[in-house]
Structure 1
């Protein structure tokens, strides 16, 4: 019987992560949960980190159906003390990790006209998307270096590639994380450690739900997004993207004025979220 494409994909993933210790942040969210399920089916030893214990337990329950070991940790990446205690325990009890997937993120979609008096939004977004991920990476990197192998996967966004508006807090935080990975990768290339950035497109999660206009746009479901992240694990490429994202990057180089004009049209025709118009936090920002 011929082997299907899905079976080949699963086999390649299992070859990369089977028996490896993998830490997934944001595992209490939809994308992190689906990543955990795929990795559990591939035989990874999973460590799931998130802020919501009940959702983490559900992620662990689903991931464990693959037969592998799953442990959960309720940790807020923006709490340096908790993060330090967690990584110390992780290193002492388990010897660190082989693969780190920096998936946790905080998203805010708000035009700057409504954000002039909200600089705290920018600091809090950077605290999760950049400083939390970097802090965790730096703490776990020495163990990878000692073992001579590892993989760090940073989850980025298509918003950078398309120059999308109303993400002046979110996009820069993801840009910083991407730049961190790009600067780190050359240092690690000859140490057997890969660094990848995955530019996710729009995904139907609670992060995108507050923007009602997004409901009319094409989007991935969380399972499809998880497959895109796992593609980075299989290929170990520095960048994993969609065709639309790649096109946006090319336009930014070859025809920057055209990309700017298209982004300006998006700004004019996609409205603010209701929370942004009210000047409230609910529905304007989410954090997985």
Structure 2
């Protein structure tokens, strides 16, 4: 029976040249004590952020299981991870296919053991004003299928192993867009808000079981997923490595929430001055135009997978 993951090839490992290890920075050193020699499942590992996260965790000595749909990109992520000092298994899985998720989880548990950490990083984004999506309800269903139901399905499949061993950490990657109420994300933001709410309820249930649940509110990140929105090009943003380090902070601290100062301010405004937050979001909607693809042809999607 085929394994769920492509194991590291011994010949390739033997051919690797010895490299003087770099002195780890503080985050990497702390990650080594958190994820070193632990099995970490990262979804969306074929994308920019997931790839950088895999390298960061590889430097910390994690045993990584890399999920994604693009086998070639996953193999490249695995190569970089192994060069960084970790081990990696490549597992092409479509998270929108419940049967595929079930097969992966069953075989991972049977052949590799339970997961210690799960990072629900995979995601898809569409930036399109609702007035240009009146006949595109499928966009909303697709966002929920990837960003919410896929993550929930995988979490529920891996949770029994964590529960049996009495420890684990689940990290859900959310967005600053939910905190700021940004326009043109009526499909994307609700899917991430649902994932955040799932994590909050799950965290309360698992607090006494030794299993932590964290949500990371990423700000704008320069990736192929955000590139179609040319209006974002002039805005400040993180690169994929910085975004990965935010996720790493959640893994080290175990805090229920990791956010930026701007995201936290947006949430506070939503409580103490909701009209002010709405006015600011309306200004953002007015001055950052529709993505070129959506403006030219409302029937064409501008979304991409992470």
TM-score w.r.t. the length of structure 2 is 0.91
What do you get for the CA RMSD once the two structures are aligned? 1.1
1:19-98 maps to which residues of 2 (within 5 A)? 19-98=37-116
Q: Following the alignment from structure 2 to structure 1, what is the Cα–Cα distance between the partners of residues 86 and 305?
A: 28
Q: Quick check: 271-280 or 149-158, which moved more?
A: 271-280
Give the drift of 1:8.
2.0
Asked whether the equivalents of residues 96 and 150 of structure 2 are also in contact (C-alpha less than 8 Å), the reply is: yes
Write out per-residue CA displacement over residues 229-273 of structure 1, whole angstroms, 9 at most, x where no aligned residue.
Answer: 000000000000001100111111111000000000000010001
Q: Following the alignment from structure 2 to structure 1, what is the Cα–Cα distance between the partners of residues 243 and 125?
A: 16
Secondary structure of the 1:199 match is strand
Write out per-residue CA displacement over residues 98-124 of structure 1, whole angstroms, 9 at most, x where no aligned residue.
Answer: 000000001010000000000000001
Write out per-residue CA displacement over residues 54-75 of structure 1, whole angstroms, 9 at most, x where no aligned residue.
Answer: 1101100101112322100111
Q: Quick check: 111-120 or 66-75, which moved more?
A: 66-75
Write out per-residue CA displacement over residues 37-89 of structure 1, whole angstroms, 9 at most, x where no aligned residue.
Answer: 00000000000000101110110010111232210011110011111111111
Structure 1 runs of 4+ aligned residues shifted over 6 Å read none
Matched, 1:223 2:241: yes
Equivalent position to 1:190, from 193, 197, 208: 208
Give the drift of 1:184.
0.5
Q: Following the alignment from structure 2 to structure 1, what is the Cα–Cα distance between the partners of residues 299 and 75?
A: 31
TM-score w.r.t. the length of structure 1 is 0.97
Secondary structure of the 1:47 match is strand
Runs of 5+ consecutive residues of structure 1 not aligned to the other structure: none
Write out per-residue CA displacement over residues 195-237 of structure 1, whole angstroms, 9 at most, x where no aligned residue.
Answer: 0000000000011100000000000000000000000000000
Match of 2:32 in 1: 14
Equivalent pairs counted in the alignment come to: 283
Equivalent position to 1:199, from 191, 196, 217: 217
Give the drift of 1:94.
1.1
Q: Following the alignment from structure 1 to structure 2, what is the Cα–Cα distance between the partners of residues 47 and 14?
A: 17
Give the drift of 1:281.
3.0
Match of 1:281 in 2: 300
